[in-house]
Structure 1
């Protein structure tokens, strides 16, 4: 017979609230951060998004490295004689890397906000984010090798021959 599931940390189990929370118990008006609607909300979301990108460029070295990759490879995607769908795949995988890096950085920031103390669950959350970035990079690299690789090899053979 198998052992019952044991928690990975010494944290106490989560306590359920005495009363179930109903979705009608909360409204948009109760959250001060949800006050904007329509175009005002879109405007503020855009400002926040630009702020996040600015912070990532200024403070996150991994994001800067990946952004450098995007800046170098984007013109290459337009120079390659590929179909529109292939070009979208090349550019899309570059954007996926940036998006996953931003999500990873947000997980790391949230974990560090909670506590800088070493904890196995904090490490696990950060490792999961790092693994997600690695998988996005593998997807990007594989896509570029599959689509751009034959063209680059043909150009190299033409230069050598």
Structure 2
């Protein structure tokens, strides 16, 4: 283990530059998506996205509507991944009940709920406009 005064970086990723850094960061992102896939909620949202994202190009009447429709789906998936990251970090700390851990997990869950409400609202409004 390097001493606190040594020149060795704690995280070798921080020393990478240019395309090497981008290449490795992409690998970590893909690993994160794979880890997310093991979560039921993310998997359900990803499968729904396979249907909703192409549907957005049919449903949207212009680029703004398409961006809102696709963006709301992607935002939901991003929030789900962040919620899972929060829960995983809290679970790593320990299995015992703690009011701060509960609070963090509840806020992550609330963020998912709000993004789901937003996504549903955007899609329902677009469907309503398409049908009238």
Contact 1:29 1:35 in 2 (8 A): no
Runs of 4+ residues over 2 Å off in structure 1? 28-33
Range 128-137 or range 30-39, more displaced = 30-39
Flag structure 1 segments of 5+ consecutive residues without an equivalent. Answer: 1-25, 155-161
- Partners of 2:60 and 2:97 in 1: CA distance: 50
User: Which residue of the partner structure matches residue 49 of structure 1?
Assistant: 29
Alignment equivalent of 1:40, drawn from 20, 25, 41: 20
Alignment equivalent of 2:64, drawn from 85, 98, 105: 85
Contact 2:59 2:126 in 1 (8 A): no
TM-score, length of structure 1 as denominator length: 0.73
**1:61 maps onto 2:35 in alignment:** no
TM-score, length of structure 2 as denominator length: 0.88
Deviation of the 1:64 alpha carbon: 0.6
Flag structure 2 segments of 5+ consecutive residues without an equivalent. Answer: none
User: Which residue of the partner structure matches residue 125 of structure 2?
Assistant: 146
Larger Rg: 1
